[in-house]
A and B are shown apart, each in its own frame.
Chain A
Amino acid sequence: MSDSPRPPLPSGLVAFVKRDCPTCELVVPVLERLAGDAALTIYCQDDPSFPEGAGAVDDTTLERSWHHGIETVPTLLAVDEGIERARTEGWDREEWERLSGLSELGAELPAFRPGCGSLSVDPEHALDLAVRFGADTMKSRRVAFAAQEDEVEAAFERGWTDGLPVVPPTERRVLAMLQGTRRKPDEVVAVVPPDLVECTVEKVAINAVMAGCRPEYLPVVLAAVEAACTEQFNMHGLLATTMPAGPVIIVNGPIRRAIGMNSGRNVFGQGNRANSTIGRALQLVVRNVGGGRPGEVDRATFGNPGKVSFCFAEDEEGSPWGPLSADLGAEPGVSTVTLFPGEGPRIIVDQLSREPESLARSYAANLRTLIHPKLVLAFDCVLAIGPEHARVFREAGWSKAQITDRLHELLLIPKEELVQGAGGITEGIPPEVPAPALPKFRPGGILLVYCGGDAGLFSTMIGGWVTGDTGSQTTLREIRP
């Protein structure tokens, strides 16, 4: 937790060694020759009396090893006025001769011998060293809790939580989280509404820690933050609306299985860490970095429980069709997040249909009720087809396009059923609308996803929010490591 500037290395040759390394033992005669014929400084990681009589510099704190990225011992460096010019790892006669400018080095030794792992990258120490020497690479303000404060309660009191406890984002935890991505901590990921604050990888990592993510989830969270903060997705409007929708994250591609996401039983429910925490991390970024809090800019009349976290994976392996990401233009094998502005999921039960036409009609009857049975065109939807329903379509050979085409046909609703006053209901479309019939959804406004448990003749629909330029449009983003 100290601020540790990178200590310079002396000019000349520099060797990093440890006693507990047979290759280091092997090269002792070479080191002795280099000490005599060239300017050599030896840093020893575990015992400064090694090599005997060589006057090795004590690096048992591993400070120099860590700062100079030593991964193997022995490592030989050529340094000129503090700048590293060349480096070689292990014993490699040609390389050592090249760096030293001497010939016939270690003539009695084999030409090549690999080295051992540097103590500075030993998994047992790596994180402690990163905290000790690298914490100052993280630029966020440090907040010290008082001695009497409970760290979990303190986060509530500062307004940093969504109503559930958060994992306190210590330097150690945030550094560990940052190991989950190759992106630099200070890279700006997005400008987060409503406060329009530039959000770095580090800030996302802090909130991912708080949400309970593991480091390997971080790339998914970063992609979700990027997608949410696009003009296209319009997180500001989605946050500010009185409607109950929030960002729904649908994950496709190899990363689903790599991080153990749930796409099967209870797919929209509790119990899977990745599903539960990735969506939560996005919401915490919006809350903490963007300043988007319920009752302030978030004006939702009801909200929905998915605004804590709503994230799931598609069951691509079980699906009779291609993945949602491909429908939206992603290449096969690419991991993606799709953000959909969605309300809570609602079940469609149909335990009797064994023909696709009958099942499509069941879907249409249910989908019509989204938002209001007499309101059309303003909203998209996600239709999550469960395995037992999908089997009906698969056995009849229906493609995704056939399903959505049929749904659009079935959901072309006569104007007289929709107009204000029809059915004794004042709500509805204005009478001056000239069309004889109106579609419930715009073309492309029904998104199909395959997921859910293997028992139950059910599917689920997720209603959307206003689509188009003034609303929120489904947004795909590639997940980058």
Chain B
Amino acid sequence: MTLHFTPVWFIAVPLLLAFLAPLWVRWRLLMPVLFSAQVALFVLALSWLPTVRIAPILETIVIAPPLGIHLHLDAIALLLVALFSFAGAIVSAFIWLDNGAAHLRERPAFILMLLLIAGSNGMVLTGDIFNLYVFIEIVGVSAYALAAIRRDKTALEAGLKYVIVGSVAAIFILFAIVLLYLQTGQLNIAALAQAFGNMPAQMQLLIGLLMLIGLSIKAELFPFNFWVPDIYRGSDPEITALYSGVLVKAFLFVLFHLTFILLADPTVARNWLMALGAITMIVAELVALRQNDLRRMLAYSSLGQVGLITLALAFASEATTAGALFHMVNHTLIKVLLFLLAALMLRQYASLKLTDVHGLSRTMPLAAGLFVLGALAVLGLPPFSGFISKLWILKGFADVQTFWPVALILTAALIEAGYYFRWIRVFYAPTDALPMAKIEGEKTLNYAPLLVIAGLLIVLGVAPFLLEDWLQQAAQALLGREALLNAVLGVQP
């Protein structure tokens, strides 16, 4: 083996490429590099799949855990890393092919996007809690900057709000980490997990609450997600696709990773998290009913899906977890698709208000068709993959005869249908107006990345067994506290 593949690559490659940005600018290679880097990472992740299937990979940096920093690549981390790089690849391909939004094809955006991906990968991979905080900050800072990158009023306002809220969340998290360190003197997550049970109950509660609130803000759980619609509305849709597709997923993972690993008995937190998820889902879907702006609607819908994923993950049974992970994958694909569609529509229409996009299908038939596909998938209608993941979750609940989440999920889906189909109907509404002239440079090639996603949604819907083993192993990895502790700490003398 001439090249030494290690999980560090997932973090190091984007960082390195970001720092070499001046070079790419000179060679006019910014977009190709952005795209191919993500594709390379995605391929790398896939090539690792057989290895990780057998056993997780531990990459120690300098000293072995618990003292040193290590990266932990197991099935779930690999799944998320692959997902992030895939989403990144799609978004960057879209930006590359698209000829609107010039500011997204310049150096700052390039650097920030790579940082965002690097940070997200780091959050998923790291086995050290302070390291985790660092990555959270990297991701946070790049996200704040990306929100404001368009340099107009709404974007700046969005960026500013994001900074305020994000920093407070970071403070909560930092506070929790500090307390943890003071109590145990450890920073390695596995080591912390062993010591956590010995702490006084009050302290456990305090740390848990701090962590929960900090991560809930980041992971967009009710009642800490009031900031989301404003930010999603203010930023560019391409960036929003990354927020909804990558960032939130990374934070959700961190939340549940910490929950499952720190608590010896995750059922303590189960009711709390399930309630959070359920409320998030219902509230978001309800509020979305009255949204008249496409991007705000998508933001609320995203919140609703996050709630659903939380509800399913918190239940902590293997079937619901696997289903929730699948739903995570699907939701990333769908929301990337929908937000990129919103970006395309924004080129054509000045605003995406309900009243302004009447009869959109006559001007942009393909976009409307893809929107329908995305909506059907997010609603969990067959034969798209969203159906399979929802079914998996529901089946997981039915397995143990817990029916209230089933009822809630189905009700939420019905409400969700209420607004998605309203938009579809508006897109296909008959109008007397002639179809608008196509804007300059709109070409079918713009749709290529979106068509890839659409194809994937159908393939995964018809043949979900392709991902089945991976997802189940990922679920086991997420839930397998003992296995992880042994894997990490077993190596110490």
A and B assemble together? no
Give me the interface of A with B, judged by CB distance under 8 Å.
none
